[in-house]
């Protein structure tokens, strides 16, 4: 009985925390009312800019936006759970053996991430800094996107590669 009450209280507090967090994101980034957050757990952090279009959805993603960088999500996008989007990362060509706690000699890779309209990003995808994902594309689950994606592409793998172009039928 007591554990059931404690569980309900915990659930209520957890729900309230995320409702408050998402309300703050809506205000800070001026998100449209039709932009949806799925289950609890989406984190948007950093000093950069986040722009989102109408009718898009993010579910338990981590979005890191470095200072002077931007993540833009277009209209009608679907971003599944456990997606990681980064605008800043270590440059693999930097000397990682120099001052492990300082950043003086380490180069960083910095770039905006643009997700154009009508994109579907599957679960567990990692998107590197500086990537643009073209309109109406699909990124398959468990992929690592390291380069720009052309419109109407279906991509998958590590690193993500073109699986095929979409067969698009125009309905009139």
CA distances from 13 to 8, 9, 17, 38 (A): 9, 6, 6, 17
- Please count the CA atoms within 13 angstroms of the CA of 98 that sit on its side-chain side: 8
- pLDDT score of 157: 97
Tell me the average pLDDT across 99-104: 62
- pLDDT score of 160: 97
110-159 pLDDT per residue, tens = 999 999 999 999 999 999 999 999 999 999 999 999 999 999 999 999 99
99 pLDDT exceeds 70? Answer: no
Sheet holding 49-52, edge to edge: 49-52, 70-73, 113-115, 132-133
Token pair of 35, please?
Answer: 């932009």
Domain ranges of the chain: 2-163
Which of the two residues, 8 and 43, has the higher pLDDT score? 43
∠ Cα 57 24 51 (to 5°):
45
15-64 pLDDT per residue, tens = 788 888 888 899 999 999 999 998 788 999 999 999 999 999 999 999 99
CATH 2.160.10.10 fits 2-163, yes or no: yes
């Amino acid at each position: 009985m007591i554990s059931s009450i404690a569980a309900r209280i915990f659930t209520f507090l957890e729900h309230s925390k995320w409702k408050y967090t998402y309300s703050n994101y809506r205000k800070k980034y001026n998100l449209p009312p039709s932009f949806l957050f799925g289950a609890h757990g989406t984190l948007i952090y950093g000093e950069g800019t986040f722009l989102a279009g109408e009718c898009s959805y993010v579910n338990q993603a981590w979005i890191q936006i470095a200072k002077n960088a931007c993540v833009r999500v277009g209209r009608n996008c679907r971003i599944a759970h456990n997606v990681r989007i980064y605008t800043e990362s270590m440059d693999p060509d930097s000397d990682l053996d120099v001052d492990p706690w300082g950043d003086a000699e380490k180069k960083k890779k910095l770039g905006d991430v643009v997700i154009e309209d009508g994109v579907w990003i599957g679960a567990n995808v990692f998107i590197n800094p500086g990537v643009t994902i073209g309109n109406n594309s699909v990124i398959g689950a468990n992929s690592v996107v390291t380069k720009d994606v052309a419109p109407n592409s279906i991509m998958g793998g590590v690193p993500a590669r073109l699986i095929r172009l979409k067969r698009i039928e125009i309905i009139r």
